[in-house]
Amino acid sequence: IGAAIGATVGTGVALAGIPLCIGALGFTGAGIAAGSIAAKMMSAAAIANGGGVAAGSTVAVLQSIGAAGFSIGAKIGLTSALGSVGAASG
């Protein structure tokens, strides 16, 4: 029973918890929220790169997830990884 509960919690974290946390940082479907941690990260990345945010950077990837969510491949991978960790810890 513990393993099933752990796997369920791990899967929930992968599919709901991580996207919620990314949104709470300010990476949203409408863009980066003003005054948020995401805005500060974007500003620092732009200053470091001479005015732009590099494609593939942490800020770019988090904004992509915030705007569109995880791809199906990422959902499968995260669910498998975190579900297994949860099952093992349960």
Tens digits of residue pLDDT in 16-25:
778 888 999 9
Question: Do 29 and 67 form a contact (C-beta atoms < 8 A)?
Answer: yes
Residue 44 CA to residue 42 CA, distance in Å, equals 5
What pLDDT is stored for residue 47 in this prediction? 94
Domain co-membership, 31 together with 60: no
Instruction: Give domain status of residue 48, yes or no.
Output: no
Instruction: Give domain status of residue 69, yes or no.
Output: yes
pTM across the whole model = 0.68
Domain co-membership, 3 together with 31: yes
Question: Do 87 and 6 form a contact (C-beta atoms < 8 A)?
Answer: yes
Q: Residue 62: which domain range? A: 56-89
Task: Please tell me what DSSP assigns to residue 17.
Answer: I
Per residue in 27-70, pLDDT (tens digit) is 998 999 999 999 999 999 999 999 899 998 999 989 988 888 77
Name the domain count of the chain. Answer: 2
